[in-house]
Structure 1
Amino acid sequence: MTAATLLPLVFFVPLVGSILSAMLPLRGRIVVTFTAAAASGAVAVAIAAAVLETGTVRVELAGWAPPLGIALVADGASAVMLLLSAIVVPAVALVGAAERKAVGHPAFWPLAGAATAAVNGVFVAGDLFTLYVMLELLTLSAVALVALGGRGATAPALRYLFVAVTGSLLYLVAVALVYGEAGTVDLALAAERMQNGPVLAAVLALVAVGMAAKSALFPLHAWLPVAHPAAPAAVSALLSALVIKASLFVLWRVVIALGPASEVTGILATAIGVAGAAAVVWGGILALTRTRLKTIIAYSTVAQVGYLVLLLPLVQNPASAQDGFAGGILLAVAHGLAKAAMFLAAGALVFAYGSDRLDRMEGAISRMPVAVAAIGLAGVSLAGLPPLFGFVGKWLMLQASLAEGAWWWIALLLVGGLLALGYTGRIIRATFNPPGENDAAPPQGHPHALFSAVPFALAVLSIVLGLFPGVLVEILAVTPVGGGVR
């Protein structure tokens, strides 16, 4: 099978797995989810290899070409994000299979499959309406996943639903405007046909606000810090590592593809960058002051989203475009690995200590060293210290900032790194043994070993990718930064 033939499978395999798992008892659900995750992961690897070898992969479903048909497209950015999904989903499923409390409810398995299908669909969709359909499938499954946290998760899930649906509505209005102006929703064709003017400016603004809300970009972030503490550990890992990346990916795609035709793109990109800068500082400060582990990690996500939108102002200058784009995508992958590790490790600690309060976790560094080490390594990656993978993305963004002469982005990247070290160090310090205390077992007992081992493996993978990032950088070079999915 060719890569173009395989491309639809990254969506259909997890979707079919989701449907089948909903009809099966628990053991069957786990088996089907693992099988679908392994199959779609193998497809993602094959697509990445094809992109690296031959360039962008494109297939038109049923042979119908746009504007009538639906095209699926995989370039370097798509391939790298699909690889992130191929790593995170099996890791989260492995923890859920080992420790049932990590998923909250048996409904996790079909919902996780649907969310995986939607995320993968976003990464390969070549038209604006297919992106909308995938975003809606993702919203429904992600909100339901948050609600699996129990009675206390109902209000956070409803808040998330309201924000996500509002963001989708704004995006849908933008799609209608593009169709009315260009006569197509295919992103490549729309990029050729859209003209500078108020319609295109409105499209970019609507997409920016809608996706900012879905991604929890400051100041539209209030739903995220309450959703994570309410959700089960496996759900928080998926939400932070993959779900918010989908809406960020849409924002990147649309602005990079349609933006060159509009005079307001520079202003919009700068405004998004300013919001990102505020997110880095505000999220980092709040993470430093919180007293609950999952809330600290949630505010850390708010801060890291700020980094990820800095990609847009950095790609406006041809001198910095490629480094800025590659750095932003690699930072998104590093964030996905780190946040999956942190939330899963936090879940293990909460399981063992019966609470996520930092003042209840004394002695965890000796009682559960693997989980604590996972949080520490992930936090160092978020801070951007070598040799971890987060350093690679930040280094490329620093180079892009230097090429553009934008020293303020350099200062922001450094300040954000210091804040990340601060709240990570605060977490680790809270796990130290009180003076004279022995290494007694945690109050609630030890969770399954995989609950700590899997996040530690994800954190170690950040070291490996930090030492050998070359293949991912080569894949990303396939993406035409100035032309979206063309």
Structure 2
Amino acid sequence: MIERFGLASDLFGHLNGPLVLLAMLGLPLLLGLLGGALRPARSWPVALLGLLPLSALIWLAAAVAGGPGQSWTLELGSLVLHWRVNGLVLVLLLLTQLIVLASALYAPTYLRDVVHATRRSQAWFWPLLGLLAASLSLIWLAADLLLLYIGLELMGLTAVGLLLLPGKADALIAGLRYLLLALVGSLAFLLGVALLLGAWGRLDLAGLAQVAEEGVVLWVAMALLSAGLLLKAAAFPLHAWLAPVHASAWIPISALHAGLVIKASFFIALQLWLVLAPAAAVAATLVGVMAGAAVIWGGLMAWRAAKLKDVVAWSTVSQLGYLLLAFPLLVGSDPAVAALAWDGTWLQLAAHGLAKAAMFFATGNLILATGESRVEGLAGASRRFPLALLSFGIAAISLVGLPPSMGFTAKWLLLHAALAGDHWGWLAVLAIGTLLSAAYVFRVFRYSFVEDAPTLDFRPVPWGMDTIALVLALAALLLGLVAEWPLALLRGSGGGA
């Protein structure tokens, strides 16, 4: 499993490590500071500058793609920091760049015309956005627990700062609640790191995989690490903070949080399990039970939710359950089952990230157009705002898992993994989750297509905001047709065929 995450000690190559870090970490920070100083009122300057990190990523992909990956160290006196990049990291970096760029393009019009953000809020939004992108990239590239902790803390504090930007009472309450829970999760994670360091004297993941031994210390450390990360990821039953946070957040921030932030905690948790406890099948089964409960409970709550943003937020709880199925399908499994589950898990993560960001953008557009936050208030939207509803529907195709979307390909692989491993319980979870997803999506469309709705004073949606939602939704849909490309990257990282 170490090779799948690019952690093998024999992967040192010709990459210029400091240049990679400057491009992936320094460039987003620089652009964020520039945005804070200029406070762009149009999207085209953001689009031009957004090409810089994408260009840097293309350069990195050309240097790494096709091989098992590369790793390097950075020495700061007596402190040695470990880094890596491989096909999986490239997929996650690309996902981050796309969703961050989409949020940045959506933000100028949204901040200026929709929420009428103050100059101070706009000035803070851009540096925080850059810091969030850098902290996420740090988590994907980090190969030791110290860097992962730093990235996790920066990401959490930045997410809190973004949630507090609206300045309203409900946003402050939700942001501070999220901060409190994030700090609790960080404390648990830090205690787990301290136990591992005290027991084996090292923090690099490749080294820990070689020296860590099963026993009370390892299990207690893994329990603390997992509890902290699952709390940050809003995994059932630690999910209660998620819906209130999204209810008060700005739309671009909700898209970032659901599309990327909670995925980072999941990535760290799964990585630690596969590196340090790859045979803990019983414990992984318990996580699988949590996954099944998340899929069903989140789906039911989304189906019952009265507000449109709550539907999308509870959908996130449900969809995260599919990712948590990676634990019982990967940990302690047969290599053939693990290979299928590996591909399906990361495709599901990417598909959900793109589709959920698109769905939040489309939701914001529908709320802006109708002035209604309730699902019932969407009556007549199909006639007046077909593009926003189309974006919502295309994103829903991937979330439900219908062909030819990437969500379908991901669920198909997870289904094959469950069948190959005789995991009939997880097969039932996938089936029930798909039906529940269809139920809450069609509930939204049921109200949108009410033909005898009264004529209301609708507000036109700027074409750029509609376009961003549609492009992301189409990406989640059409990437299913070329899924072999991300799969080739994942298998190049050791994921198996």
What TM-score, normalized by structure 1, do the two folds share? 0.92
2: CA distance between counterparts of 1:74 and 1:6? 13
Q: 1:344 to 1:73 in 2, by over 3 A?
A: same
Task: Please state whether the residue corresponding to 2:72 is helix, strand or coil.
Answer: strand
Task: Please state whether the residue corresponding to 2:274 is helix, strand or coil.
Answer: helix
* Cα drift, residue 63 of structure 1: 8.5
Task: Please state whether the residue corresponding to 1:72 is helix, strand or coil.
Answer: strand
For residue 228 of structure 1, what is the amino acid of its counterpart? H
More displaced 10-residue stretch of structure 1: 444-453 or 326-335: 444-453
Given the alignment of the two structures, is residue 148 of structure 1 paired with residue 148 of structure 2, yes or no?
Answer: no
Task: Please state whether the residue corresponding to 1:54 is helix, strand or coil.
Answer: coil
Match of 1:458 in 2: 472
Match of 1:125 in 2: 142
Match of 1:172 in 2: 190
Work out which of the residue numbers 332, 354, 377 in structure 2 matches 1:360. 377
Q: Is the 8 A contact 1:102 1:233 kept in 2?
A: no
Work out which of the residue numbers 23, 27, 33 in structure 2 matches 1:13. 27
For residue 43 of structure 1, what is the amino acid of its counterpart? A
2: CA distance between counterparts of 1:31 and 1:436? 37
For residue 429 of structure 2, what is the amino acid of its counterpart? L
1: CA distance between counterparts of 2:305 and 2:195? 43
Gaps (5+ residues) in structure 1?
Answer: none
Task: Write the deviation string for residues 386-432 of structure 1: whole angstroms up to 9, x where unpaired.
Answer: 10110111111111111111011111111101111111111111111
Q: How many residues align?
A: 473
More displaced 10-residue stretch of structure 1: 35-44 or 285-294: 35-44
Aligned alpha-carbon RMSD (Å):
2.2
Q: 1:32 to 1:183 in 2, by over 3 A?
A: farther
Given the alignment of the two structures, is residue 423 of structure 1 paired with residue 440 of structure 2, yes or no?
Answer: yes
Match of 1:269 in 2: 284
For residue 413 of structure 2, what is the amino acid of its counterpart? L
Task: Write the deviation string for residues 79-107 of structure 1: whole angstroms up to 9, x where unpaired.
Answer: 11111112111111111123323695302
Q: Is the 8 A contact 1:13 1:36 kept in 2?
A: no
Match of 2:409 in 1: 392
For residue 45 of structure 1, what is the amino acid of its counterpart? I
Q: Is the 8 A contact 1:323 1:400 kept in 2?
A: yes
2: CA distance between counterparts of 1:125 and 1:33? 28
Q: 1:183 to 1:285 in 2, by over 3 A?
A: same
Given the alignment of the two structures, is residue 213 of structure 1 paired with residue 231 of structure 2, yes or no?
Answer: yes
Question: How much identity, in percent, do the aligned residues show?
Answer: 37
* Cα drift, residue 30 of structure 1: 7.3
1: CA distance between counterparts of 2:476 and 2:414? 18
Given the alignment of the two structures, is residue 314 of structure 1 paired with residue 332 of structure 2, yes or no?
Answer: no
2: CA distance between counterparts of 1:53 and 1:227? 40
More displaced 10-residue stretch of structure 1: 443-452 or 293-302: 443-452
More displaced 10-residue stretch of structure 1: 136-145 or 278-287: 136-145
Gaps (5+ residues) in structure 2?
Answer: 1-13
Q: Is the 8 A contact 1:327 1:395 kept in 2?
A: yes
Match of 2:94 in 1: 83
Q: Is the 8 A contact 1:50 1:57 kept in 2?
A: no
Q: Is the 8 A contact 1:3 1:50 kept in 2?
A: no
Task: Please state whether the residue corresponding to 2:492 is helix, strand or coil.
Answer: coil
2: CA distance between counterparts of 1:4 and 1:474? 24
Match of 1:42 in 2: 55
Match of 2:179 in 1: 161
* 1:55-204 paired onto structure 2 within 5 Å: 55-62=68-75, 68-100=79-111, 101=114, 104=117, 105-106=121-122, 107-151=124-168, 152-204=170-222
2: CA distance between counterparts of 1:307 and 1:391? 12
2: CA distance between counterparts of 1:157 and 1:208? 23
Task: Please state whether the residue corresponding to 2:379 is helix, strand or coil.
Answer: coil
2: CA distance between counterparts of 1:220 and 1:436? 39
* 1:440-451 paired onto structure 2 within 5 Å: 443-451=457-465
For residue 100 of structure 2, what is the amino acid of its counterpart? V
Given the alignment of the two structures, is residue 477 of structure 1 paired with residue 491 of structure 2, yes or no?
Answer: yes
Task: Write the deviation string for residues 51-94 of structure 1: whole angstroms up to 9, x where unpaired.
Answer: 32232122322588xx9411211122211111111211111111
Task: Write the deviation string for residues 196-252 of structure 1: whole angstroms up to 9, x where unpaired.
Answer: 111111121111111110000011001101000100111100000011111111111
Q: Is the 8 A contact 2:15 2:70 kept in 1?
A: no
Given the alignment of the two structures, is residue 334 of structure 1 paired with residue 351 of structure 2, yes or no?
Answer: yes
Task: Please state whether the residue corresponding to 1:59 is helix, strand or coil.
Answer: strand
* Cα drift, residue 133 of structure 1: 0.5
2: CA distance between counterparts of 1:34 and 1:142? 23
* Cα drift, residue 255 of structure 1: 0.9
Given the alignment of the two structures, is residue 372 of structure 1 paired with residue 383 of structure 2, yes or no?
Answer: no
Work out which of the residue numbers 284, 293, 297 in structure 2 matches 1:282. 297
Task: Write the deviation string for residues 272-311 of structure 1: whole angstroms up to 9, x where unpaired.
Answer: 1111110000000000001100000000000011111111
* Cα drift, residue 436 of structure 1: 7.5
Q: Is the 8 A contact 1:102 1:347 kept in 2?
A: no
